[in-house]
Amino acid sequence: MKYVSEYRDPELARSLIDRILATASRPRVLMEVCGGQTHTIVRQGLQELLRGAVDMIHGPGCPVCVTPLEQIDRALHLAARPDVIFTSFGDMLRVPGSDGDLLQVRARGGEVRVVYSPLDALEIARAQPDREVVFFAVGFETTAPANAMAVWRARELGVSNFSVLVSHVTVPPAIRAILDAPDNRVEAFLAAGHVCTVMGWKEYEPLVEEYGVPIVVTGFESVDILEGIYMAIRQLEEGRAEVENQYVRSVRRAGNEPAQELVSKVFVPVDRKWRGIGEIPQSGLGLREEFAAFDAEKRFQLESIRTSEPEACMAGDVLRGRIKPFECPAFGDECTPERPLGAPMVSSEGACAAYYNYARFQQQPSAETA
């Protein structure tokens, strides 16, 4: 398949691995900020192939995983209401809250529907004006334009029984929080290509200038990731710190400006809690005041729902890159895909799910200690 098979070429991948191993003068610590990249790295065994040259730390690049427990509990509360049709993408249905997940709420009689677009949820609201329809708006900047469009259209069409439970988070503040941490050891970042397709890379330039760390916008196939790693390693060895774009087939510096404009008309930056991490200032998107009528938290008075994270789950340390999933005592024992303690074990982009599915028993030392 054009533009896919080329980036899975084993000979090209081997050549890039050889270049990385030859270029790195010492073990380097890089972080990928995308769960899709994490799954490729673990599934293809790239960590093992680069042993001694690169230690890949898996960052908070899964929006499902970083959605805080209290927001999941708010979703469960709404989904259980008899007057609500709760809609969501399928990846949220098995994320555990304090008392089960959305699938279990549906089994108990709640009307929970999977949709492929927030506009599908809006159509359900138009078709059933006697029911409240809520869409669970989760994601990084990638999904924000479609969710903004749904809210914009709801106001335009006068659909008063539609609202969104917003849990959007944004990438640059998370990178800043990682770099500000006293135990940070990340030397360079691979930025998520799909986020940059929407937002471009201008917003990473101040981070590079302030912290002196290379950031390489990277795609999701094995050759994409290896090329992104090589570009980052080369910068480190040459003493440079720049934003570079590996994902040239999709990303340009300015990004998708019409999408950004729509997002800015509907959303405004807000402080946001991240699961297992806590609150990161200005790291989320919330509805502007003129769209407050479509805010499910306000409509259903959900602000009072507060929940503490389970002590046995070390999702926060995994998401911050402090530990690898297998270093959590609950991994594979108390916490499995069938009985998850946290979202990283059930999300399709979760690091714990990647290690469980592809590398459960590969408990090997990092490049730092190898």
Which pLDDT belongs to residue 4? 78
More confident residue, 370 or 171: 171
Does residue 353 lie in a domain region? no
What pLDDT score does 370 carry? 40
The pLDDT-based confidence of 360 (bands split at 50, 70, 90) is: low
pLDDT at residue 367, rounded to an integer: 43
Residue 129 and residue 163 share a domain: yes
Task: Summarize pLDDT for 96-155 with one digit per residue, the tens.
Answer: 998 899 999 999 999 999 999 999 999 999 999 999 999 999 999 999 999 999 999 999
Average pLDDT over residues 219-227: 97
**pLDDT tens profile 318-344:** 998 889 999 999 999 899 998 898 899
Question: Does residue 70 sit in the same domain as residue 211?
Answer: no
Question: Do residues 143 and 97 share a domain?
Answer: yes
Q: What pTM, to 2 d.p., does this model score?
A: 0.92
The answer on 162 and 75 residing in a single domain is yes
Indicate whether 80 and 139 sit together in one domain: yes
User: Does residue 153 lie within any of the structural domains?
Assistant: yes
The DSSP call for residue 335 is: B
Calpha distance 71→73 (Å, rounded) = 5
| 364 has a pLDDT exceeding 70 | no
Question: What is the per-residue pLDDT for 55?
Answer: 95
Residue 347 lies in a domain: no
| Average confidence (pLDDT) over 273-298 | 94
Start-to-end Cα distance in the chain:
38
Number of domains in the chain: 2
194 within 8 A of 218, measured Cβ to Cβ: no
Residue 361: pLDDT band (50, 70, 90) is low
Give residue-wise pLDDT tens across range 12-43: 999 999 999 999 999 999 999 999 999 999 99
Residues 31 and 80 in one domain: no
Same domain for 178 and 202, yes or no, is yes
Q: Based on the domain organization, do 152 and 70 belong to the same domain?
A: yes
Q: Alpha carbon 110 to chain centroid distance?
A: 27
Residues 145 and 160 in one domain: yes
- Mean pLDDT across 175-197: 95
Indicate if 224 and 78 belong to the same structural domain: no
| CATH for 78 | 3.40.50.11740
288 and 143 in one domain? yes
Query: What CATH number does residue 31 fall under?
Result: 3.40.50.11750
Give pLDDT, residue 203.
Answer: 96
Least confident piece of the model among 12-16, 64-68, 166-170:
64-68
Asked if the model's pLDDT at residue 302 lies above 70, the reply is yes
Q: What is the pLDDT of residue 308?
A: 74
User: Average pLDDT in the 344-351 region?
Assistant: 92
Q: Is 315 exposed, middle or buried (0-12, 13-18, 19+ CB in 10 A)?
A: buried
Q: Is residue 221 part of a domain?
A: yes
The boundaries of the domain holding residue 93 are 64-170+255-299
Confidence of residue 363 (pLDDT cuts 50, 70, 90): low
Averaged over 271-281, what is the pLDDT?
A: 89
* Residue 357 in domain: no
Q: Would you say residue 240 lies in a domain?
A: yes
* DSSP helix, strand, coil percent of the chain (3-state; round to 5): 45, 20, 35
Percent of all residues in the chain with a pLDDT value above 90, rounded to a whole number = 82
The reply to whether 320 falls in a domain is: no
Whether 280 has a pLDDT exceeding 60, the answer reads: yes
Q: Is residue 241 within 8 Å of residue 213, measured between CB atoms?
A: yes
Same structural domain for residues 16 and 155? no
With respect to residue 144, please indicate whether it lies within any of the assigned structural domains.
yes
By the 8 A CB rule, do 61 and 33 touch? yes
